[in-house]
Chains A and B, each alone.
Chain A
Amino acid sequence: DAGVIQSPRHEVTEMGQEVTLRCKPISGHDYLFWYRQTMMRGLELLIYFNNNVPIDDSGMPEDRFSAKMPNASFSTLKIQPSEPRDSAVYFCASSLRPGVNTEAFFGQGTRLTVV
């Protein structure tokens, strides 16, 4: 398996534009997580899915953020409209179900810059 795959690796957009980040988890993993990393706040969990169903989205900062997982092999994180304070590195991670092995595997991240 190629690991968790995120795209794009870098995104620069203007304030007010819609941004869509994409993630392909490791095949067979039941859990998918979206994290945001900034210098000030470190790694923050935004939302996570179990078997494509959102379980906890309490970390999503505002209604401008939304996430979907239409199938087991694809998830998106959308920001609409984007703001400069959304600039950060966004990571996607996946893991197996509890009781088996909950080791988390991370993608390389998407570095988002909103100007």
Chain B
Amino acid sequence: KQEVTQIPAALSVPEGENLVLNCSFTDSAIYNLQWFRQDPGKGLTSLLLIQSSQREQTSGRLNASLDKSSGRSTLYIAASQPGDSATYLCAVSNAGNQFYFGTGTSLTVIP
């Protein structure tokens, strides 16, 4: 069974810093990888989707990379802002379209 791990579990940074969140998965036979953001008491908002054939995706200050062979993905957030404070989750899907989630990284950006 696919296992997804996210490190660190929690991260606190001052405003303006660049930061990297990590995601690793045990089975490299994935279809895609998706990064989500979850605010307290809210649902999941999709941030970036990387297909298995892609190496990275960018959206604004966010850049996600994927290295399938090593089972790793990173989410890079540039010039962090207090509004970026949330829990970030990565999920991988296999050919059967099941999504396996990591336990998330709780990010706090201090003004």
Contact = CB atoms under 8 A, between A and B. Distances in A.
Contact of A95 (B44, B97, B103): B97
Contacts of B109: none
For the side of the interface on B, what is the size category? 20 to 34
Given A43-B101, A95-B97, A104-B99, 13 more contacts: A42-B104, A43-B89, A45-B99, A45-B100, A91-B44, A93-B44, A93-B99, A102-B32, A103-B46, A104-B34, A104-B91, A106-B45, A108-B42
Contacts, number: 55
Contacts of B44: 91, 93, 106
B31 to A, nearest CB: 6
Tell me the dominant secondary structure on chain B's binding face: strand
A106 B43 contact: yes
A61 interface: no
Contacts of B104: 42
B103 to A, nearest CB: 4
Contacts of A107: 43
B34 to A, nearest CB: 6
A54 B68 CA distance: 29
A36 to B, nearest CB: 11
Interface string A63-99: 0000000000000000000000000000101010110
Nearest to A4: B43
A1 to B, nearest CB: 14
User: Most B CB atoms within 10 A — which of A43, A91, A93?
Assistant: A43
A95 B34 CA distance: 12
Interface in B19-42: 31-32, 34, 36, 41-42
A113 to B, nearest CB: 13
A56 interface: yes
11 contacts: A35-B101, A43-B101, A45-B98, A55-B96, A93-B44, A95-B97, A102-B31, A102-B32, A103-B32, A105-B46, A111-B41
B86 interface: no
A107 B102 CA distance: 18
A69 B36 CA distance: 26
